[in-house]
Amino acid sequence: MKIDILTLFPEIFHTIFNWSIIGRAVEKKLVRLNCINIRDFSEDKHKRVDDYPFGGGPGMVMKPEPIAKAIESVKESESKVIYLSPKGKVYNQKMANKLAREKHLILLSGHYEGIDNRIVEHYIDEEISIGDYVLTGGEIPSLVLLDSIIRLIPGVLGSEDSFIEDSHYNGLLEHPQYTRPRDFNGYMVPSVLLSGNHKEIEKWRLYESLKITYLNRRDLLKKKDLTDEEKDMLKEIYKELEIK
């Protein structure tokens, strides 16, 4: 997998490309990361990359020519070009899983009031938003995609289970985790986790997953096909929550 980031701020990325799990993935050659400075493709004598919007209005718009040239400088036959924007399809784990199977991603980070729409229409394969809020630029959204995709590349994470059991993998939020000490300022670890009874532990974890998903993300429960065991547990959860 290769990922190219097109940005006006390439400096931001250099530390991150060498950082922790991402840095290790680069070292192990599981991913190739590269940054392209869009300004290098401006043929304007002042290296301008933005201009006033046609039709008027506040702010500036990124000019099409430098972006098109930057894309063309890295594009290959199997590249997927993604524009990060609040107008895109909202990103989720399913989209990350799909993108992790691509050979080459080109992530375009926009600034100002966005980019000339002819780039969106003729050069972009997918417009993706990381959520319903507005940031100052597309750099952090590009990094959100990069991070969520790199950890899915085989060999990047130590053991495979560490992502199989993660929140969102099976459509439920993850059960709570505890480590030593058993007694932290009088707050105890749930005793079932110390019992050594693996069947009971699995049951407790599923119950807790269903409960936290019910409390925080009812939308996920509605989407999921529940087993009979899960339906029974949910009935218990409704009872538990009514009493409190």
Return the exposure string of 140-178: e unless at least 16 CB atoms fall within 10 Å of the residue's CB, then b. Answer: ebbbbbbebbbbbeeebbeeeeeeeeebbeebbbbbeee
105 and 79 in contact (C-beta within 8 Å)?
A: yes
Question: Angle of helix 139-150 relative to helix 20-27, nearest 10 degrees?
Answer: 60
218 catalytic? Reply is: no
Closer to ligand 4GX by Cβ: residue 22 or 61? 61
Token readout for 167 is 């929140």
Quote the DSSP letter at residue 17.
H
Closer to ligand 4GX by Cβ: residue 9 or 163? 9
166 catalytic? Reply is: yes
Kindly name the residue from 151, 174, 205, 217 that is annotated as catalytic: 151
- Using the rule CB under 6 A, give the single segment among 29-37, 66-74, 135-143, 200-208 that binds ligand 4GX: 135-143
- Assess 87 for contact with ligand 4GX (CB under 6 A): yes
- Assess 64 for contact with ligand 4GX (CB under 6 A): no
Cβ-count burial of 209 within 10 angstroms (0-12 exposed, 13-18 middle, 19+ buried)? buried
- Using the rule CB under 6 A, give the single segment among 29-37, 125-133, 170-178, 186-194 that binds ligand 4GX: 125-133
Closer to ligand 4GX by Cβ: residue 35 or 84? 84
Taking the C-alpha atoms of residue 48 and residue 64, their distance in angstroms, rounded to an integer, is 11
- Assess 131 for contact with ligand 4GX (CB under 6 A): yes
- Assess 133 for contact with ligand 4GX (CB under 6 A): yes
- Using the rule CB under 6 A, give the single segment among 39-47, 130-138, 150-158, 163-171 that binds ligand 4GX: 130-138
User: What region does 56 belong to: left with phi over 0, alpha with psi -120 to 50, or beta?
Assistant: left
233 and 208 in contact (C-beta within 8 Å)?
A: no
- Assess 110 for contact with ligand 4GX (CB under 6 A): yes
> Which one among 31, 50, 71, 141 touches ligand 4GX, defined by CB under 6 A?
141
Q: Cβ of residue 92: shortest distance to ligand 4GX, in angstroms?
A: 13
- Using the rule CB under 6 A, give the single segment among 84-92, 165-173, 206-214, 231-239 that binds ligand 4GX: 84-92
26 and 33 in contact (C-beta within 8 Å)?
A: yes
Give the number of other CB atoms < 10 A from CB of residue 105: 23
Residues making contact with ligand 4GX (CB under 6 A): 84-87, 110-111, 113-114, 129-131, 133-135, 137-138, 141
